[in-house]
A and B are shown apart, each in its own frame.
Chain A
């Protein structure tokens, strides 16, 4: 029987062979059932990470392009809006001037019309006043002369008075 020795350096064939056999079995079991699974899992994870990194990189490039495009459009928009504001201001100034000019012309016209109306009214009032005054004067004169004036005479006298007054004014 193989007996253990008290010497730790003593060699024993039985554990030696057992080690080789047991390790061989462990190696084959692990090689067929463990390492392939782990290797596959790690490979799939690496591929996934690689794919995600590539996707992220592509998304970053796309985002950068979109951002550049957006910034360009934003700049164009700002420029366009500034131009529109400038144009709007110029249009506003032009419209203001036009409205002001039109208002001034309108006001002048109205003032002119008002002056004409006033003048016409004044002339009408004066002529009415003159006619009334002439009628009064004829009436007074008739009374003074104690004689009745016929309407036709009366009218003729008034017209003559008025013509005379107009000639004096004129």
Chain B
């Protein structure tokens, strides 16, 4: 197997973006990110079900050990949940809203996390390499792939927009339920005090309304774009590093130079991968955390001020 073949398979011959974008699965209209999401959803449900079984209180026959997580994976998940709940969500949302939205926010966090992590594992490249080695000849166009699973789903704006849309709906439902239609409109107009305040303050209400109304959509859009941009940037960097080998081959360099460049860029890609694991975790957290902030902003003003006061006190 030549170096050229490997580098060609690990990174596309063209620009890294074309390798990164979501592709059709063969001739079907189905996109690779859709299959990845379905498989990842199954995996995350299975993993979290195992974690739940490990975290749940065991039989009385094992004594006080029944209160400890039964597996290390369960302990890790428990630590993550406790940290997110007690150190991040409760100070921002308060006990009541945290209890109400913990399931949604944790689902969001773990769903995004596993999509981000799956995106770091070269499942697509491995499948294409296997197909290549088995001599399977797919007549695929640039927008198609032979893989049935893999790729960075969160590097697709359609996927992140879908997640942001879910957050948008949850935030607005929270607003309507907590504040009512009148309270929600008052919130858009700057709050109860401004609406029922001096008549001169009414002059700024249209401006505030425009800003707040746009903010309704800008906030989830920012969520979507932030996650998408971070994933695209990280994967582009990784792909660029792995493409140095291909570029060396195309430039007609000698075997020693090609090997050296491939090794150095490969080591760099490995190091960046560790950074990307952290980014995957961080972006999942940021998405979930900002969602919790948007939800808490739709709480009663007294609750919100109290919760934010608690958060400030906690920090």
Contacts and interface: CB of A to CB of B under 8 A. Distances in A.
Interface of A: 1-20, 22-27, 29-31, 33-35, 37-42, 44-45, 48-49
Given A19-B37, A19-B162, A4 B55 contact: no
Contacts of B107: 23, 26-27, 30-31, 35
Contacts of B82: 42
A41 B68 CA distance: 9
A7 to B, nearest CB: 7
Given A16-B165, A18-B31, A20-B162, 19 more contacts: A3-B24, A5-B21, A8-B20, A11-B158, A11-B161, A16-B158, A19-B159, A19-B163, A20-B166, A30-B45, A37-B56, A38-B51, A38-B55, A39-B102, A41-B52, A41-B57, A42-B55, A48-B64, A49-B67
Nearest to B155: A8
A166 to B, nearest CB: 112
A6 B18 contact: yes
A120 to B, nearest CB: 96
29 contacts: A1-B29, A2-B31, A3-B24, A6-B18, A8-B232, A11-B157, A12-B22, A12-B31, A13-B158, A14-B29, A15-B37, A16-B162, A20-B162, A23-B111, A23-B162, A26-B41, A27-B104, A30-B48, A30-B107, A35-B103, A38-B55, A38-B78, A39-B102, A40-B56, A41-B56, A41-B57, A44-B57, A44-B67, A45-B67
B156 interface: yes
B33 interface: yes
Nearest to A25: B41
A9 B107 CA distance: 26
Interface in B17-36: 17-18, 20-24, 29-31, 33-34
B22 A4 contact: yes
B143 interface: yes
Contacts of A33: 45, 49, 52
Contacts of B159: 15-16, 19
A17 B165 CA distance: 10
- Size band of the B side of the interface? 35 or more
Interface in B137-168: 142-144, 153, 155-159, 161-163, 165-166
Scoring A8, A13, A17, A49 by chain B CB atoms within 10 A of each residue's CB, the highest score goes to: A8
B250 interface: no
Nearest to A30: B107
A10 B77 CA distance: 35
Contacts of B23: 4
A14 B31 contact: yes
Given A1-B29, A8-B21, A26-B111, A42 B78 contact: yes
Main secondary structure of the interface of B (DSSP, over half): helix
Contacts of B45: 26, 29-30, 33-34
A16 B159 CA distance: 5
Contacts of A3: 24, 29, 143
Contacts of B144: 4
Given A22-B41, A35-B102, A45-B67, A14 B143 contact: no
Contact of B31 (A15, A22, A39, A49): A15
B81 interface: yes
A22 B232 CA distance: 22
A12 B51 CA distance: 34
A136 B156 CA distance: 163
A9 B159 CA distance: 11
A45 B58 CA distance: 11
